[in-house]
Structure 1
Amino acid sequence: MSSKSLLSFVIYGFFLLSPCNSLKDNADEETRAYFHTLKINSLPSTEVCKESSKALNEGSSSLKLVHRFGPCNPHRTSTAPASSFNEILRRDKLRVDSIIQARRSMNLTSSVEHMKSSVPFYGLSRITASDYIVNVGIGTPKKEMPLIFDTGSGLIWTQCKPCKACYPKVPVFDPTKSASFKGLPCSSKLCQSIRKGCSSPKCTYLTAYVDNSSSTGTLATETISFSHLKYDFKNILIGCSDQVSGESHGQSGIMGLNRSPISFASQTANIYDKLFSYCIPSTPGATGHLTFGGKVPNDVRFSPVSKTAPSSDYDIKMTGISVGGRKPLIDASAFKIASTIDSGAVLTRLPPKAYSALRSVFREMMKGYPLLDQDDFLDTCYDFSNYSTVAIPSISVFFEGGVEMDIDVSGIMLQVPGSKVYCLAFAELDDEVSIFGNFQQKTYTVVFDGAKERIGFAPGGCD
């Protein structure tokens, strides 16, 4: 298989991979402790939506989280042909590149300061690569709009009528039919606080991303609602976009959740105290959740947000990685810069020293299986065609504060669809930066506690 073909198939397999089944009957003590003994199955159906069996946090406000290409998304416009995954990989790389650029820029100002210019611009040029969607009610009466949830951006925006250019086949919000929509004039205090030098009649914005996609429109205040709540969130700052560029596969806009003052988490701080969490499901055919407020589960372990992080980002210090129970295989010296915990980046990227050590030990523990020729990107792949069960080593990631996160089995290897080829789901980043991607976060409850400036993890948040 060529390098290019393998890459395409592996990315496609990311969206179809199901959690493998543990078989412990014949496993010895060490295997049970430090290995996942996996049954090699054919790919499951991706056309049946599986609702999570996990109960939601009592007293919280939760939204169902779905994959935009999966059967649980009622607005999906594509079942993700292979060509889409090459594009997703490209966007994932662009997102990673933009994170690196932000980290290298030590004079980076806050998101609000970026808006204070004579040019109607907002954004850190970070592409929204995430493929997980929540349905949010906007307006009075409310209209359900599918929005990508994104911890890497701040502004909440959706496409609006009349459209100069809008995404086809997905909902469009009509502000003229909402009794609560209030467009911001340039003269308003709110606009002046975020748009220095605004001189046009309307308070306009431009959100641009590194993949050349963008959203252009006007800023407004509007009512946001969740379908199962009795109360609404009034006077929330949003972007009403009449012109978008790029592609949509089931989303109408973005729900920004970063640390900036204009994110939904910050605007509802009086209700939820900047506390929210999410759980990304193990497969695109299952549901997860995005939850605001509620009680913090007892089993959540927290790590402090880095003091050196860009003011809008969620960064914590990675202190080590273990493979197959070898602790610590990689120590804190390999991670000179705090790691971004990102909902939008797909794969976890590691500095060269850390990735080399991870790959070396993983290969050593997998030496009984045939290693395929190296691929340019995912370079540790195995052909399991002659096996009904295999044992793969566990991987744990450590963060400052004594936090140990055992990666769920669904986040360790990627399966090539239509085959029995599996690849290690980590990649090298030619930089000192590390990024903890959403593939390794699967099935965990990831808690963002903005008031206490900490991020926590708890296993078993969703299926």
Structure 2
Amino acid sequence: MDGPMPSKSLISSVIYGFLLLSLCNSLKDNAVDGKRAYFHTLKINSLPSPDVCKESSKALNEGSSSLKLVHKFGPCNPHRTSTAPASSFTEILRRDKLRVDSIIQARRSMTLTNSAEHVKSSVPFYSLPVPPNDYIVNVEIGTPKKEVPLIFDTGSDLIWTQCKPCKVCYPKVPVFDPTKSTSFKGLPCSSELCQLYGQGCSSSKCTYKTAYVDNSSSTGIYATETISFNHLRYDFKNILIGCSDQVSGDSDGQSGIMGLNRSPLSFSSQTANIYNNLFSYCIPSNPESTGHLTFGGKVSNDVKFSPISKTSPSSDYDIKMTGISVGGRRLLIDASAFKIASTIDSGTVLTRLPPKAYSTLRSLFREMMKGFPLSHPDIFLDTCYDFSNYSTVAIPSVSVFFEAGVEIDIDVSGIMFQYPGSKVYCLAFAELDDEVSIFGNFQQKTYTVVFDGVKERIGFAPGGCN
């Protein structure tokens, strides 16, 4: 063909012009090398978002019970003690890496030592994944009811909160006083539950200690207590909880943890007969909005399910990842890269992929973003760009595929991670030096994620928060 070749900047301008003129802000079609590709429009802004809470418009379905899911540093958290400083960004990533490392260590430990005695001894005292640091729910404990904010975590078992008299407790957040609750009953050392889960005795009461690999911990006694949701008439009686008089580690806006894994101690397991062992959640697209944590209810036809792996640790939620696409192109990744099921985790932030899968994803993403120079902030994320000269940028879509035909087209808010206070954005995926993959909460945003314990499956549906 005669004539000069068009410049990259001209090509980029044409692409952006097309994207900005489109009435649809979701998927954008464009031709790349004769193949169909998809792009999202990413709005670039270094200014903090307005500190105003936006309530989800998602209504509860019949037969369900729901809690608002809010970001601990966001304006929707009534117990917020501070807003997140920009310096917390590196701390979030550091803790996220610790959590991932601890999940891998736990899986290896369960694989190497799978005896019944190990499983029993690991329940009351073992190195759990680092507590998540993002989203909380407010529940009511005791009679009369006392509201406490709890981190929700599909990687933890016990539901626990700090209690008076407190030797060491988190400051500026509610502390439950069991002496003022008529429904509180400390678990006797002679009880069957204490024989199963207790670590020791103190004043004839069954004790526990939950330790995390970042050296944080919760120590106290087991008890049965009434748990309530503030909009329900129904109370959950005789729920086994941890009443902690000594906690250590970071806290800002939460009093404890609501464990939701598959172990018998978790809140979801203890209420399984009420809600048919079904719960779901939706993580909002930004800290200024609310999501939900819902127990029971009808499953929408929009939800697509993948079976829970039969070879995974008994307390984990693992399903088999089968592939990834970028900009509409399915990555050529050998099936052996996904031979171990992927953990669906509410507490891990960034999705981790095995080396072969991540390098292939990174290469194609960089190819589609080659009009922008790479930036190199002092963090472990390796595909970052400085968008200081742009108000909007077209970024390729990313989809993740799971067994049984489940496809998750990741929301635009879950593709790139913004370095706070700047216009530097990084691909929100990371390499894991292992064959395990972890599907993090950043990529789960705006989806309804359904955990069906009866049929042993996990489902996904878009538009879960609104």
Q: What count of residue pairs does the alignment treat as equivalent?
A: 440
TM superposition shift of 1:96:
0.3
Q: How well do the aligned residues superpose, as a CA RMSD in angstroms?
A: 2.3
Query: Residue 303 of structure 1 corresponds to which residue in structure 2?
Result: 306
- Name the aligned partner's letter for residue 262 of structure 2: R
Query: Residue 87 of structure 2 corresponds to which residue in structure 1?
Result: 83
Q: Deviations over 1:391-447 (max 9, x none)?
A: 111100000111111000000012233332221111111111111110000000000
Query: Residue 429 of structure 2 corresponds to which residue in structure 1?
Result: 426
Query: Residue 238 of structure 2 corresponds to which residue in structure 1?
Result: 235
Query: Residue 58 of structure 1 corresponds to which residue in structure 2?
Result: 62
Structure showing greater radius of gyration is 2
1:310-325 alignment runs, 5 A limit: 310-325=313-328
Q: Find the aligned partners of 1:439 and 1:344 in 2 and give their Cα distance.
A: 10
- Name the aligned partner's letter for residue 361 of structure 1: L
Q: Deviations over 1:362-417 (max 9, x none)?
A: 01111112222475511111122233332111100000111111000000012233
CA contact (8 A) 1:319 1:331 kept: no
1:371 aligns with 2:368: no
Query: Residue 19 of structure 1 corresponds to which residue in structure 2?
Result: none
Query: Residue 16 of structure 2 corresponds to which residue in structure 1?
Result: none
Query: Residue 359 of structure 2 corresponds to which residue in structure 1?
Result: 356
1:284 aligns with 2:292: no
Q: Find the aligned partners of 1:201 and 1:109 in 2 and give their Cα distance.
A: 32
Segment of structure 1 superposing worse, 286-295 or 331-340: 331-340
1:268 aligns with 2:271: yes
Identity of aligned residues (%): 82
* SS of structure 2 residue aligned to 1:190: helix
TM superposition shift of 1:63:
0.1
TM superposition shift of 1:308:
1.2
1:346 equivalent among 339, 345, 349: 349
- Name the aligned partner's letter for residue 239 of structure 1: G
Query: Residue 458 of structure 1 corresponds to which residue in structure 2?
Result: 461
When residues 220 and 420 of structure 1 are mapped into structure 2, their CA distance, relative to the original with a 3 A threshold, is same
TM superposition shift of 1:113:
5.9
Query: Residue 101 of structure 2 corresponds to which residue in structure 1?
Result: 97
CA contact (8 A) 1:159 1:244 kept: yes
Query: Residue 413 of structure 1 corresponds to which residue in structure 2?
Result: 416
Q: Find the aligned partners of 1:180 and 1:371 in 2 and give their Cα distance.
A: 59
CA contact (8 A) 2:199 2:209 kept: no
Q: Find the aligned partners of 1:28 and 1:187 in 2 and give their Cα distance.
A: 66
Query: Residue 446 of structure 1 corresponds to which residue in structure 2?
Result: 449
Segment of structure 1 superposing worse, 40-49 or 103-112: 103-112
1:142-157 alignment runs, 5 A limit: 142-157=145-160
1:25 aligns with 2:27: no
Query: Residue 15 of structure 2 corresponds to which residue in structure 1?
Result: none
CA contact (8 A) 1:282 1:442 kept: yes
Where does the alignment leave 5 or more consecutive residues of structure 1 unmatched?
Answer: 1-21
When residues 115 and 46 of structure 1 are mapped into structure 2, their CA distance, relative to the original with a 3 A threshold, is farther
* SS of structure 2 residue aligned to 1:104: helix
When residues 407 and 28 of structure 1 are mapped into structure 2, their CA distance, relative to the original with a 3 A threshold, is closer
Segment of structure 1 superposing worse, 415-424 or 337-346: 415-424
Q: Find the aligned partners of 1:187 and 1:272 in 2 and give their Cα distance.
A: 30
When residues 381 and 86 of structure 1 are mapped into structure 2, their CA distance, relative to the original with a 3 A threshold, is closer
Query: Residue 215 of structure 1 corresponds to which residue in structure 2?
Result: 218
Query: Residue 44 of structure 2 corresponds to which residue in structure 1?
Result: 40
* SS of structure 1 residue aligned to 2:224: strand
Q: Find the aligned partners of 2:301 and 2:54 in 1 and give their Cα distance.
A: 27
TM superposition shift of 1:23:
3.7
Q: Deviations over 1:98-151 (max 9, x none)?
A: 11112222145599965548xx94344321124110001100111011000010
TM superposition shift of 1:57:
2.8
CA contact (8 A) 1:372 1:381 kept: yes
Where does the alignment leave 5 or more consecutive residues of structure 2 unmatched?
Answer: 1-18
Q: Find the aligned partners of 2:377 and 2:177 in 1 and give their Cα distance.
A: 51
Q: Find the aligned partners of 1:153 and 1:400 in 2 and give their Cα distance.
A: 25
CA contact (8 A) 1:112 1:260 kept: no
TM superposition shift of 1:197:
7.3
Q: Find the aligned partners of 2:325 and 2:452 in 1 and give their Cα distance.
A: 26
TM superposition shift of 1:349:
0.8
Query: Residue 229 of structure 2 corresponds to which residue in structure 1?
Result: 226
Q: Deviations over 1:146-198 (max 9, x none)?
A: 00001001101000000111111100000011010010110112212323776
Segment of structure 1 superposing worse, 197-206 or 245-254: 197-206
Query: Residue 10 of structure 2 corresponds to which residue in structure 1?
Result: none
- Name the aligned partner's letter for residue 155 of structure 1: L
Query: Residue 18 of structure 1 corresponds to which residue in structure 2?
Result: none
* SS of structure 2 residue aligned to 1:47: coil
Q: Find the aligned partners of 1:232 and 1:131 in 2 and give their Cα distance.
A: 27
Q: Find the aligned partners of 1:39 and 1:141 in 2 and give their Cα distance.
A: 47
- Name the aligned partner's letter for residue 190 of structure 2: S
* SS of structure 1 residue aligned to 2:374: coil
TM superposition shift of 1:93:
1.1
1:167 aligns with 2:170: yes
- Name the aligned partner's letter for residue 403 of structure 2: E
Query: Residue 4 of structure 1 corresponds to which residue in structure 2?
Result: none
1:105-254 alignment runs, 5 A limit: 105=109, 106-108=111-113, 114=119, 116=121, 121-195=124-198, 201-254=204-257
When residues 80 and 247 of structure 1 are mapped into structure 2, their CA distance, relative to the original with a 3 A threshold, is same
